[in-house]
Structure 1
Amino acid sequence: MSTPALADQILETWRIHARINQYLLAAIAPDALPLQGLTRGRTVAEQFAHIHNVRLMWIREGAPDLLAGLQKLEKGAALDADTLRAALDASAAAVETMLAAALESGKLRGFKPHPTAFLGYLISHESHHRGQIAVALKGADHPLDKKTGFGLWEWGVR
């Protein structure tokens, strides 16, 4: 049995992570997307939009040719689940393409020290916002159900 190449494993890690974001979004009732937590920061929908927009920022820096067809989700725009889902899918695919090229060349324009660290950065950033989403929902009396809460950690099946 052969082991997948490290680059394949890194890209699969990104795909799993992106599916976890979609899993969380799918578990949130549409009427909970405009909710804010106790700190009155971004709404739940705006947290997802921020994840997408930060991806675009990195794509603009690292592989601007991949921006074609991708649009920033502006604050105050109608951010329903379908819009968020489509934007996150599109930006995740572009990040994967950019990351694959960076892994092949060993570098990513605008990010140090290397492409694998970039993956760690993105996962850390987006996971932070998943946590903020969970806290916002809890603070607004719409906590995630236990199945979803545990499901965020089931990387082997996502």
Structure 2
Amino acid sequence: MSNALEQGLLGALLDSWDRSNTILVNLLRAVPEGGLAARAMEGSPSVSEMFTHMHHERMVSVLEEAPEFAGTVPAEEWVAEADPERIAKMLNESARVVRAAIQGRVETGRAMDLNYDHPILLLQLLIFHEGYHHGQIKLALKAAGKPVTNDEAGPLTWDLWRIKKGAS
């Protein structure tokens, strides 16, 4: 990278990705017992399937856009995984893969291979995509009578965006 400002911006963007993944894993861990099977309505994906879909989307995106950073893409996309710790492990793995791909491509000045004018656009798409599913997950839990209230979710999600590094 050419200067300190660009390094600082990349660091802030990668930090936003790290926070976004932490928020997603925190939401997963806040899902009440039986909530992974919840659906917003009949025919909709389950909460579990949405989490595994997000992992799959991350891995496929890196394979297509920066294959030198790709890990193993799951064979199936919408998997009903019952173990929240297994899902958390998948999400953390794919978050590391995405982070490495974005950082590697930005630092070398390489565009993504297929769809994005700049690697940061992939990062933004994934954050938007996951925010969309975050809302769907909360709706599915509410519809199933297993809501995660805003008072419960706030400290695990929204508050993580407001933390300054080094703040206690």
Matched, 1:128 2:132: yes
Report deviation, 1:130.
Answer: 0.4
Q: Which runs of 5+ in 2 are unaligned?
A: none
Which of residues 61, 65, 69 is equivalent to 1:66?
69
Report deviation, 1:90.
Answer: 0.2
Report deviation, 1:156.
Answer: 2.5
Map 1:7-156 onto structure 2 (within 5 A). 7-69=10-72, 71-72=74-75, 74-104=77-107, 105-151=109-155, 152-154=157-159, 155-156=161-162
**RMSD, aligned CA:** 2.2
Alpha-carbon distance in 2 for matches of 1:16, 1:76 = 24
Identity %: 27
The TM-score normalised by the length of structure 1 is: 0.87
Q: Is the 8 A contact 2:28 2:88 kept in 1?
A: yes
Alpha-carbon distance in 2 for matches of 1:71, 1:10 = 26
Alpha-carbon distance in 1 for matches of 2:37, 2:76 = 14
Report deviation, 1:35.
Answer: 1.2
Q: What is the DSSP-based 3-state SS (H/G/I as helix, E as strand, rest coil) of the residue aligned with 2:37?
A: coil
Alpha-carbon distance in 1 for matches of 2:47, 2:99 = 24
Report deviation, 1:57.
Answer: 1.1
Q: What is the DSSP-based 3-state SS (H/G/I as helix, E as strand, rest coil) of the residue aligned with 2:124?
A: helix
Q: What is the DSSP-based 3-state SS (H/G/I as helix, E as strand, rest coil) of the residue aligned with 1:141?
A: coil
Report deviation, 1:15.
Answer: 0.5
Q: Which runs of 5+ in 1 are unaligned?
A: none
Alpha-carbon distance in 1 for matches of 2:94, 2:75 = 10
